[in-house]
Amino acid sequence: MKFLIATAALLFMAPVLLHAQNVEPRYAGQGFFDFGLGTVEGWAIPFLIPGPNTYPKPRMWQVGGGGERFLSKGLGVGAEAGIVKWTGNPWPGSAVTASGDLSYHFGRHARLGKLDPFVLGGLSFVGPTEKQGGRGSPAGNYGGGVNLWTEKHVALRCEFRDIAGATQYWPFPHYISLSFGLTFR
Every domain of the chain and the residues it spans: 29-184
pLDDT score recorded for residue 24: 55
Secondary-structure class of domain 29-184 per CATH? mainly beta
pLDDT score recorded for residue 45: 44
pLDDT score recorded for residue 164: 83
pLDDT score recorded for residue 68: 94
Strands (E) across 14-136 are located at: 29-41, 59-72, 75-87, 93-105, 115-128
pTM to 2 decimal places: 0.74
**CB of 181 closer than 8 Å to CB of 33:** yes
Mean pLDDT (10-residue bins), the chain, 185 residues: 69 60 68 89 48 59 93 92 77 80 89 90 83 72 94 93 70 80 93
pLDDT score recorded for residue 49: 44
Q: How far is CA 154 from CA 15, 51, 173, in A?
A: 32, 51, 34
